[in-house]
Amino acid sequence: MKTAVETIFVGKDRQYNRRILQMCSHHLVEPVACTPASGWEKGQVENQVGLVRERFFTPRLRFKTFDELNAWLMDKCIAYAKAHAHPERADRTVWEVFEEERPRLIPYRGRFDGFHALPASVSKTCLVRFDNNKYSVNAGAVGRPVEIHAYADRIVIRQDGRIVAEHARCFGRRRPSVGLDEIHNVLAASWRDQRVVFNTLRYLSNELKLSLVCFGIMEARQAINGDVQLARRFDSISLPRWIADKEFEQLVLAIVRNLPLKEPSVLTAKGLRRILLVSGGVSARIFRMLNDVAIEAIETGVERITDEALERYKPVGEDEAAFQ
């Protein structure tokens, strides 16, 4: 999005950018523009921004992720609201007045799916260029246009509505990366074909200067170790199964928040325990379970995930072992 306003009319009438209107509709707010030739209105907004910056971000702080920043900011805002009197009801704090009004407020609908979208083409080497960096996509996407959804922290690439790649966003310059999924499948190939794959990986790393990230099950480590020189270039990282902690809760909430359900889903500790029990803490099973329950919610018209729906869920196929 390049600008919030596309056309300026008389007075405060504006033609807003389509994405701005979608965001306002999501959060049920109405945008109000400044009056033309009234510079003091803009100054009032800038003064408020400066006040917040001085109050919460001085000295300048550093965070590893936006989630960490938002969590810290939430704690600071709550602490400030509990410690300061309400501007119109001096006998009560801001937090006390907020708690009193909370039952009459519209529930939070979750994050707005905000991203910068633009079309792109896929190169013959399965790469898509964005912001002077290259990201890999599935080989089946070569030869047809894709759409890049650039978020603050990640890049999602879609083709015909289907996700063909998703990467952490790189903010450096000219640092292409390639993700290779299910690298353990190399073990099913002949020795000669394995050499072809390994030589290709070396070519991508040495000649094209690509950063390689390989994914797979435990046998993936064995596949990489089949070539001593290649094994030295990779750091092996094992992903542990999810356990009942705050990170697991945040994962489930993030998945549920991005499901196409019309009603907000409220999961209790009971529902989270059920997800962990059925999935065994395996990420793929967690995604599949929530996706299946969401499909049922849409088909039945409930349009939200409930603890009762999670209790009724019974996995099929390869997930039976986790359930039993």
DSSP secondary-structure letter at 188?
Answer: G
DSSP secondary-structure letter at 214?
Answer: E
Q: Is the pLDDT of residue 54 over 50?
A: yes
What integer is the mean pLDDT of 33-48?
76
Residue 237 in domain: no
Q: Read off the pTM.
A: 0.52
Are both 316 and 260 inside the same structural domain? yes
Are both 154 and 203 inside the same structural domain? no
Residue 239 in domain: no
Are both 104 and 154 inside the same structural domain? no
Please, which pLDDT band fits residue 320 given cuts at 50, 70 and 90?
Answer: very low
Are both 53 and 2 inside the same structural domain? yes
- Taking only the tens place, the pLDDT of each residue in 248-271 is 988 898 888 888 888 888 889 999
Residue 184 in domain: yes
Q: Do the Cβ atoms of 311 and 277 come closer than 8 Å?
A: no
Q: What is the mean pLDDT of the chain?
A: 84
Q: Is the pLDDT of residue 177 over 90?
A: no
Q: Does 150 or 229 have the greater pLDDT score? A: 150
Are both 54 and 71 inside the same structural domain? no
Are both 43 and 78 inside the same structural domain? no
C-alpha distances in angstroms, 54 versus 47, 57, 76, 160, 207?
10, 6, 13, 46, 48
What integer is the mean pLDDT of 173-197?
79
Q: Is the pLDDT of residue 211 over 80?
A: no
Are both 191 and 259 inside the same structural domain? no
133-136, strands of its sheet edge to edge? 127-130, 133-136, 177-180, 211-214
Number of domains present in the structure of the chain: 5
H/E element, 150: strand 146-150
Please, which pLDDT band fits residue 173 given cuts at 50, 70 and 90?
Answer: low
Residue 190 in domain: yes
Are both 282 and 254 inside the same structural domain? yes
Tokens 């190939």 belong to which residue? Answer: 189
Last residue of a domain, one of 74, 97, 113: 113
Residue 240 in domain: no
pLDDT given at position 38: 74
DSSP 3-state of 16: strand
Q: Is the pLDDT of residue 324 over 50?
A: no
What integer is the mean pLDDT of 40-45?
74
Residue 2 in domain: yes
Percent of the chain scoring above 90 in pLDDT: 27
| Domain boundaries, position 314 | 246-323
Residue 238 in domain: no
Residue 236 in domain: no
Are both 74 and 96 inside the same structural domain? yes
Whichever domain contains 301, its CATH number is 1.10.8
